[in-house]
Structures are given as structure tokens and as C-alpha cells.
């Protein structure tokens, strides 16, 4: 991987990731590409507040009301810069690029938000990438996890992709984000508590026990030599898959070379199956792809297991699962699709 670092007109950092090693000529002109826009400095009013009833943190970011919203394709801020349009990416082309979000939910002492563009092709999707590009994205996620984890005040790094208007995506260009939280996310905190209780009761690791049970069951969707994807027993979403490396590690930086090498083929197959769930005439499946990583420090870090959660809010063709009163009001999920039938369908739509 070749990494090139530069600055945008308002001082934000931008990083280009290209195939090849650092001595190769795989990224011509990246550092020389200058952002010639006249931009005011980023003014972020984000703050983090603590909810004493739930014991959780909430980010308040009212400045995000003015962020870019569904621009036309020829004004996309994530496409490369051209003679007719100056975007967030000064270079005329790129493979994978990461930059600080101009409208961050978290900033300064309250964390950091970055945008990850998977390809310069505005009309592509992650599922349409080749394995080499998917491997480069994994390398970028890993690099950002390592670098952001070392920043003062960062408690956890979260890499994710929101795909589709139904999810709430405001930019159609294929991209994801990386959040550096100044706190441990609520879902992670809950898993840490249950893992600690399981260790105290059994002397074993909770994640390893769950993975072993699922690998022996009927809800496995896809299994490789180093990864297994399954629909969890108590899935909350209509189609929800958890992807685990067989060798437990706290975060992306701990993946071994064999797991890294196998990941692109496994992940791309999962994404392509998701696009086939609802038949050939359905629009691309909206989804959220979320990397669960351990907190940067703390006693629970050794107990945690890196895994990816992939799910869609679409429950049938043309029908969405909305978070109704039980989910939104009480956090009690009701799933309309049985996990076993979801696993059956995801096996049916495997690539031939």
C-alpha cells in the first residue's frame, strides 16, 4: 500500500491510498494535487453530553443541518476534481481516499469523523469492486484504526458504510466513514459487560463460544478457511449477517495475513448476495456495514472479538422495516423475518 498525505484548502487532512508499496510509482501526482477552492475554516459546534439515566453519551452537532444533501452527479463532492468542478478531492483520479469530514458529528477534543471513498466511479458500489480494491479498503480501514487509536482522547474507532437512500445516505457516491469516539459506544459497552459475566460464569470467552455454536448450526451463510458469516440466532433486522475471523482479535490491526488475504472474496460475495435477496428487478439493497472493534484501552479489550455486522432495513421488495414504538421507544426489537429463513435465502442467492 502507498499512502500520500496532503491538506485541503481549509486545512483538513486528506489521505490517498494506492496499490503498491511505498517505493512504487502507484500514485502519480497525488501530493501535487492542490485544492484551489476558497473555503472558510471549518466551524464545528459539536459537543458530547452524558445521559445519566441510560449511562450513555450523545453527540450534539447542530451545524450538520447545513451539510450537502443529494447533489446532482456533476456536483458530487466525492468525485475527483475536474476542470468544471472542484470537489473535496483535488486529484484528477484516485483509488481509495480518506479525508476529514467538513460537517463532522465529532471534532476536536470530542473525537474525529472521516470520509472514506472506495472508488472514484460515482455510479459504482462496493459490491462491484474487485478483490484488489477491497483489500486496499481493508488496508485503509486498518491504517485509520491504528492512527486514530493513538490520538489523545480517542476511546474507540468505528469504521462503517451506510448504503442507500432508505438508510438516510445524502451522497450517492460509494463511500463510508470512520468515527473516532471519545467514549465507548453503547453497543460495545453492553457486549463488554456480557462478555465479562460469561467469563466469570464459565471461564470461557463469550465471542468464541457464540462463534463455535453458530458454525455448528443451520444459520451459516458463508464459510471460508479464516472467516465465517452467519445470521445470528436473535437477529434484530430482516436480513442480518455477522462476519467473524476464526482467530479472535480485538480490532482490525490484529488480523493475521491469512485472514486479510481471504477477506475481500468473502466480503464481496456477501455484498453481492445482499443485492440479490429481493430478486433481479429490485433496486440495490440498502444496508449498513459496521465493524465492531474493541475500545482502545481497558480491561475488556482482551475479551472482545472484532467482527463485522451487515444488515438491511428492507424486509421485502418495496417494504422497509421502520423502527416503531417498541424499537424506538424501548429498544425492544421485533423481527418480521425468521433468522433461519433469512439464512436460507442468503444461501439460495450465492454466486454460481
Check 57, 63, 173, 175 and give the catalytic one. 175
The torsion angles phi and psi of 186, rounded to 5 degrees, stand at: -55, -40
Which sign, positive or negative, has the C-alpha torsion 99, 100, 105, 110? positive
Contact 3, 16 (CB under 8 A): yes
DSSP state of 318: T
Look up cell 480491561; give the residue: 299
The torsion angles phi and psi of 273, rounded to 5 degrees, stand at: -65, -40
Residue 300: partners with Cβ closer than 8 Å, 6 or more residues away:
192, 195, 196, 294
What whole-number distance in Å separates Cα of residue 34 and Cα of residue 37?
A: 9
Residue 73: partners with Cβ closer than 8 Å, 6 or more residues away:
79, 122, 123, 172
What whole-number distance in Å separates Cα of residue 283 and Cα of residue 276?
A: 10
Catalytic annotation on 57?
Answer: no
Catalytic (active-site) positions: 175
Amino acid at each position: 500500500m502507498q499512502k500520500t498525505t496532503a491538506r485541503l484548502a481549509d486545512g483538513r487532512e486528506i489521505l490517498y491510498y494506492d496499490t503498491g508499496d511505498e517505493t512504487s510509482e502507484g500514485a502519480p501526482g497525488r501530493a501535487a494535487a492542490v485544492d484551489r477552492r476558497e473555503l472558510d475554516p471549518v466551524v464545528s459546534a459539536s459537543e458530547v453530553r452524558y445521559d445519566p439515566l441510560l449511562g450513555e453519551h450523545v453527540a450534539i452537532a447542530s451545524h450538520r443541518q447545513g451539510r450537502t444533501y443529494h447533489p446532482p452527479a456533476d456536483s458530487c463532492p466525492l468525485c475527483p476534481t475536474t476542470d468544471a468542478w472542484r470537489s473535496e478531492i483535488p486529484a484528477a483520479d484516485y483509488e481509495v481516499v480518506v479525508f476529514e469530514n467538513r460537517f463532522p458529528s465529532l471534532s476536536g477534543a470530542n473525537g474525529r469523523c472521516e470520509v472514506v471513498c472506495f472508488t472514484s466511479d460515482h455510479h459504482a458500489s462496493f459490491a462491484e469492486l474487485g478483490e484488489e480494491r477491497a483489500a486496499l479498503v481493508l488496508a485503509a480501514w486498518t491504517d485509520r484504526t491504528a492512527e486514530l487509536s493513538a490520538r489523545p482522547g480517542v476511546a474507540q474507532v468505528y469504521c462503517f458504510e451506510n448504503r442507500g437512500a432508505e438508510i438516510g445516505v445524502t451522497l450517492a457516491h460509494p463511500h463510508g466513514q470512520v468515527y473516532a469516539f471519545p467514549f465507548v459506544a453503547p453497543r460495545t459497552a453492553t457486549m463488554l459487560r456480557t462478555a465479562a459475566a460469561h467469563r466469570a460464569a464459565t471461564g470461557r470467552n463469550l465471542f468464541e463460544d457464540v462463534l463455535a455454536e453458530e458454525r455448528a448450526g443451520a444459520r451459516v451463510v458463508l464459510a471460508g478457511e479464516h472467516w465465517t458469516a452467519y445470521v445470528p440466532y436473535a437477529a434484530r433486522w430482516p436480513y442480518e449477517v455477522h462476519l467473524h475471523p476464526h482467530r479472535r482479535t480485538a480490532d482490525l490491526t490484529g488480523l493475521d495475513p491469512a485472514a486479510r488475504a481471504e477477506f475481500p472474496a468473502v466480503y464481496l460475495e456477501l455484498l453481492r448476495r445482499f443485492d440479490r435477496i429481493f430478486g433481479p428487478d429490485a433496486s440495490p439493497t440498502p444496508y449498513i456495514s459496521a465493524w465492531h472493534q474493541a475500545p482502545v484501552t481497558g480491561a475488556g479489550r482482551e475479551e472482545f472479538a472484532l467482527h463485522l455486522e451487515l444488515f438491511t432495513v428492507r424486509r421485502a421488495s418495496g417494504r422497509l422495516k421502520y423502527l416503531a414504538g417498541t424499537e424506538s421507544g424501548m429498544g425492544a426489537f421485533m423481527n418480521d423475518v425468521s433468522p433461519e429463513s433469512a439464512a436460507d435465502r442468503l444461501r439460495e442467492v450465492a454466486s454460481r
